[in-house]
Structure 1
């Protein structure tokens, strides 16, 4: 029997803390996950749950003067936590690349899109200006930009939001990275362009065999895009599994809340949505015990004060960080699914 290949990216007990005037922000607290070769991991959660902070840690993009990072980040067998900047520079854009949230601010207004796509290609391959320009045109064509030989000399403000997002993807993929981190790649785009961008990522993944981390708060997007799913809340992972397992049989009250707040096609037009009560906790002083307990409607079903005093651990593999217990989680999940 052949053993499964090791994960391309393995994150273990990652913690990220920022020093501010108000105190230390625990943005990520004990996060662990794997990204398998050729698969797509979706990371979902409300704004401020630590999704983007964790992804920026993989690339070493936090300012070390104000950031304390702990735990292990192993990319293709190489430990990145505490790695020197020279090592990280060789990896960024080459072995791992990122599509940032806001393409208008991520792209420089002073340089043409062709120059910005060609720059990492020249840096990592030593290509000439001419070859790098041809590669930029090739990438613009690959991501669906019309007349790429002409648009290569345009500036970011001359592109629409969807086209700028395609330019960002071209820049990220110009060196054929083995891991692509897409942070809210469809934010502020209309649904037609969203579908085009997601189909583009899927097609490019099939062509290159790369792994993808898709960060989003849109469960509708991940339902048709990712293979595995990680749900984050207050800097911690609260549930994980395959996308079918998590969306088909969710086990954590927070995941139930996320799914319950989404409109459904089968629902009546006047049926109200069911938002999660309360607001996310301050990461300057997160609540003790389960971070979700102040907003959870199931704490009364757990004996004693465990929800308020004891932090639930997320088991390896499929599972949820919740004191309800697996049997009760499955029963409630089944009841909610039948509604």
Structure 2
């Protein structure tokens, strides 16, 4: 079992009333090249019936964070410190038996690639029904009926016959729907969706997003939606947390972050997106450079090697030496003043967005 220990001097549990509260989370991986600092000093909350969108490039720590919540990291190579509380229950230091009783029951995950997450050796119905039998004590017949019910709920045609199909007999969109059915079979209170629409075409993507929203209304689940696509988040999330280099660099409601982003990294993400109805001859503006190495993360602000505004900060503050802090509530971990953020966004970034 991965060991979680409380961190000395961790922030007070301001999210004590939240359904999921994460405080001062750190995740470290031991490798032959050294210690990978995958997640650093991360705190956030998720309320019942609400969706938190976690956005960032590959390697920013999104999936690592949520695997830590589920207790799915390899205990032999992973060190996790911090506080994770689910509906008032401490997951910090919880036994593997406790975590097994929660996974698939009180909390569940939709993985990014259903073809690798689903076993090719068992039917779809058996894989959906297995967690239902484990957590409810249902019989095989009851589990099969529940699997058919869930397949129908997620929009699989002819569920009574397709329940006996194998994953390779399903299309990509249908496999993703089956994964959603498996995750929701025990009506979990927390659903983590790890880029569930990345490999799907836009039509199926829209159907999956609508399905998740409908099922959230029905079950009242809290959802963490992980993606690198701010366009998806705009239609899905109530709140957004932007991650970079294993840290949260900006957070706020979806409207706040998308209408008036405050961090240069968020500006870069928005600027690199194609615009519906925009000038097709205009080139997209990618973020220069590459994500940082988490073996040797940059000093100061982790984004400073790629930031076009690093020389604009007020005198006496260094982006390369002083690490900016993320304030409680709405805000961004950036040394630019509030007035600078407003000015640069309106005058330089907003015109790029069209």
- Calculate the TM-score normalised by the size of structure 2: 0.93
The equivalences for 1:1-339 within 5 A come to 6-302=17-313, 303-304=315-316, 306-335=318-347, 336-337=349-350
User: In the alignment, is the contact (CA less than 8 A) between 2:317 and 2:335 conserved in 1?
Assistant: no
Give the deviation of 1:273 after TM superposition: 1.1
Quote the Cα distance in structure 2 between the aligned partners of 1:308 and 1:271. Answer: 33
Quote the Cα distance in structure 1 between the aligned partners of 2:133 and 2:251. Answer: 39
Give the deviation of 1:334 after TM superposition: 2.5
Quote the Cα distance in structure 2 between the aligned partners of 1:188 and 1:307. Answer: 37
Aligned-residue RMSD, C-alpha:
1.2
- Extract structure 1 runs of 4+ deviating beyond 6 A: none
Quote the Cα distance in structure 2 between the aligned partners of 1:199 and 1:288. Answer: 41
Gaps of 5+ in 2: 1-14
Task: Say which is worse superposed, 75-84 or 286-295, in terms of deviation.
Answer: 75-84
Which secondary structure state, in structure 1, belongs to the residue aligned with residue 24 of structure 2?
strand
Quote the Cα distance in structure 1 between the aligned partners of 2:338 and 2:114. Answer: 42
Match of 2:9 in 1: none
Give the deviation of 1:333 after TM superposition: 2.1
Quote the Cα distance in structure 2 between the aligned partners of 1:31 and 1:326. Answer: 23
C-alpha deviations, 1:152-208, integer Å up to 9, x for none?
010000000000000000000000000100000001100000000000000000111
Quote the Cα distance in structure 2 between the aligned partners of 1:252 and 1:118. Answer: 44
User: In the alignment, is the contact (CA less than 8 A) between 1:69 and 1:81 conserved in 2?
Assistant: no
Match of 2:4 in 1: none
Task: Say which is worse superposed, 74-83 or 62-71, in terms of deviation.
Answer: 74-83
Give the deviation of 1:331 after TM superposition: 2.2
C-alpha deviations, 1:93-133, integer Å up to 9, x for none?
10000000100000000000100000000000001111111
- Calculate the TM-score normalised by the size of structure 1: 0.97
Quote the Cα distance in structure 2 between the aligned partners of 1:5 and 1:299. Answer: 36
C-alpha deviations, 1:33-70, integer Å up to 9, x for none?
11011100000000000000001000000011000001
User: In the alignment, is the contact (CA less than 8 A) between 2:300 and 2:319 conserved in 1?
Assistant: yes
Which secondary structure state, in structure 2, belongs to the residue aligned with residue 70 of structure 1?
strand
